[in-house]
Amino acid sequence: MALHGTVNIVIDSRPALSLINSNIKKVLSTQLSLQSKMILKDSLVQDAYDEILEAGTSHNENNSNGEEQQPEPKKR
């Protein structure tokens, strides 16, 4: 029982609480940092896919009439 009482005193001390809170902040900031990096990565990947799809769609719209554009023959 003496050890249990000593542990409670140490945990309730200001330096111990400061250290515990500091460690909690580090863990939370690391997790938030990883989450924000994943969100940013997903957003950039989605933007890239959207640009590729838009480029393909605009190319198809230009040739949607079924005729390929050929230069007019030169008149002699």
| Whole-prediction pTM | 0.44
* Number of domains present in the structure of the chain: 1
Position 32 in a domain? yes
pLDDT confidence of residue 15: 79
Beta strands in 1-76 (DSSP E): none
Residue 63 falls inside a structural domain? no
pLDDT tens readout for residues 13-67: 677 778 888 888 888 888 888 888 899 899 999 998 898 888 877 665 555 555 5
Half-sphere exposure of 37 toward its Cβ, with a 13 Å CA cutoff? 6
Domain residue limits at 49 = 2-57
* Cα–Cα distance, 21 to 28 (Å, whole number): 10
Residue 30's pLDDT is: 86
